Amino acid sequence: MHPRRADAPNILLITADQLRWDYVHAYAPDGFMKTPALDALAADGCLCERAYSPNPVCIPARYNLITGLPARYHGFDDNYFGPDAKACPWDLPTFAQILSDCGYATAAIGKMHFQPERRATGFDLFENCDEVVYDIAEDEYAQFLRDQGYEQLGSIHGVRNVLYMQPQQSLLPEELHSSSWVADRSIRYLKSRATRTKPFLLWAGFIHPHPPFDVPENWAHLYDGCIPPHTSSKTPLSKLATENQCIADLPDETNINRMRELYACAVSFMDYNVGRILKTLDEEGLRENTLVVFVSDHGEMLGDLDTYQKFLPYDASCRIPMILRWPRHIAAGSKMEGFADLNDILPTFLDAAGTAYPGPITLPGESLLAKKPRKDRSVQYVEHQRGSKRWCCLIGQRYKFVHAYGDHDQLFDLASDSEEQTNLLWDHPSEEILRVKRQMEKQLLEYENRWGLAECVTDGKFTQFPPYEIHNYRECCFPSFMVQEPGAPAHTPLEDEILQAIAKEPTVHLADLHIRESLTAFGNMSDQDVDDLLGRARQQGN
């Protein structure tokens, strides 16, 4: 067993999925958000003011978090599914493995997004709740719903396919929603004997506010009329930002604004359940010796700059909330001004536990508790994808520079244009702007050469790739897992789930959406089936 501190703390990691930094009230105190649990956590601990996802998409961000290393080492430069799925190299230590070797009880509850899903990553207890379930045997939350009599329900996390980012409400009662389940199971763990015999590491992973935004009815109108309109870009969008417009399929401003309201509702519902977990920590007498870390894997464009989703270098996509609390070790109400990212989480946990990283690779991150910090926190490096689709960026105190391998470069003045609406490199940039670009480009190349994918720097320069070609995509993942169990009843017809999800969302009109091709090509529906669905939708006001 590897050594640890005699007074090694418990560690509680809480993650949200797709939560952008400015939808937490503590980061925007003059704004509209209601996140009392996270605000209280920040008031009692440290708010990292400029925290980022080093690769703003689910699987890569989570592998950076758990290994402390970028895609150059773990291999996930993007999400990989189906026949393209891969596994993290077996010999890369994770913080769960290291802490388990130090005598920690380790548990993961909720969305983890590992690949393969059940692969051993150092957790003694693994209770899964993934956003897309292909096999009920791999998902404890799906098994829970089956046991509660919901085995016929296909869209357990909301209707994902034709309504991916459309306004909708949960098909489940509040107490059975995945956010409630993650809190319930985490609370059960905190009350268990595992937390009494040795220090514990508990990772509670929420799916929300990742779409679909399927909030329970009681939470669905918390922000009616409160959300400001989305921003628009003043210069041409990048190809990836243009590509991301398609997936939302939101036909008008009323529809977009309602989607933004429901995103905020999903955040507050998640925050409520975070509060339940933190309250149990207090009630069980675990507060004083528990390091709590709250982060998101990445953000969500949410219509800002006229685009959606993650994958992009803009702050709405890659800037995240990061809050730490450890009584007597972290000053209450403190703020960290320098850059921080998910690569810092593993070394922070090891520092708190008093143990060392056992691998041979030098880590890019550093403990956020370091007494004598060495990491340069005056700049932040972010990367995504490979080949012509790849981009990398460097964020400084004033400017953000983005190098896109198959598209035009971008430079933003964050001091005068915090919403990143104007690419300063577009349309005859001044000599001063070009000087800034050259300076940041040189520094970014150094980061890319050290931490980026190996094939992205050639002879000391960014590798040349062909121009990227836009590939529009709409979510087409259909329910399939419950019927895999022998004797399980067939799903509720998808059209019934669609109509139920939008019945109380009058801004959704199915005839305005691009659903026919998806439902006929992937949903096993005929054109007549789709016509019947559209007719029923019109009758109920959708």
| 3-class DSSP assignment, residue 12 | strand
CB 478 within 8 A of CB 523: yes
| 3-class DSSP assignment, residue 380 | strand
pLDDT digits (tens, 9 = 90+) for 189-245: 999 976 678 999 999 999 999 999 999 999 999 999 999 999 999 999 999 999 999
pLDDT digits (tens, 9 = 90+) for 109-120: 999 988 877 776
**Mean pLDDT in the chain?**
94
Structure confidence at residue 88 as a pLDDT band (50, 70, 90): confident
pLDDT for residue 16 is more than 90: yes
State the pairing for strand pair 214-215/168-169. parallel
| 3-class DSSP assignment, residue 69 | coil
Domains detected in the chain: 10-377 (3.40.720.10)
pLDDT for residue 458 is more than 60: yes
CA–CA dist 496, 503 (Å, integer): 10
pLDDT for residue 356 is more than 90: yes
pLDDT at position 340 is: 98
CA–CA dist 117, 142 (Å, integer): 14
Structure confidence at residue 81 as a pLDDT band (50, 70, 90): confident
| 3-class DSSP assignment, residue 294 | strand
Q: Backbone phi, then psi, for 329, in 5-degree steps?
A: -115, -30
What are the b/e assignments for 127-165, b being 16+ CB within 10 Å?
bbbbbebeebebbbbbbbbbeeebbbbbbbbbbbbbbbb
Handedness of CA 18, 21, 22, 24 (dihedral sign): positive
Q: Backbone phi, then psi, for 196, in 5-degree steps?
A: -110, -25
pLDDT at position 208 is: 98
Percent of the chain at pLDDT > 70 equals: 97
Distance, first Cα to last Cα, the chain: 61
pLDDT mean over 165-184: 98
pLDDT mean over 81-93: 84
pLDDT at position 522 is: 84
pLDDT at position 444 is: 98
| 3-class DSSP assignment, residue 119 | coil
Q: Where do we find the tokens 């230590």?
A: 93
pLDDT digits (tens, 9 = 90+) for 141-160: 999 999 999 988 999 999 99
pLDDT at position 1 is: 59
pLDDT for residue 325 is more than 80: yes
pLDDT digits (tens, 9 = 90+) for 261-273: 999 999 999 999 9
Least Cα distance to 156 among 523, 482, 526 occurs for 482
pLDDT digits (tens, 9 = 90+) for 470-498: 998 888 787 765 545 666 677 789 999 99
pLDDT at position 194 is: 66
Burial class from Cβ neighbours inside 10 Å (0-12, 13-18, 19+) for residue 391 reads: buried
pLDDT for residue 448 is more than 70: yes
Percent of the chain at pLDDT > 90 equals: 86
Give the dihedral of Cα atoms 311, 312, 316, 320; nearest 10 deg: 60
Tokens of 1: 């067993």
pLDDT at position 170 is: 98
Instruction: Evaluate if pTM is beyond 0.75.
Output: yes
DSSP symbols for 206-253: --TTSSS-EE-GGGTTTTTTTSPPPP--SSPPPHHHHHHHHHH---SH
* Kind plus residue range of the DSSP H or E element containing 308: none
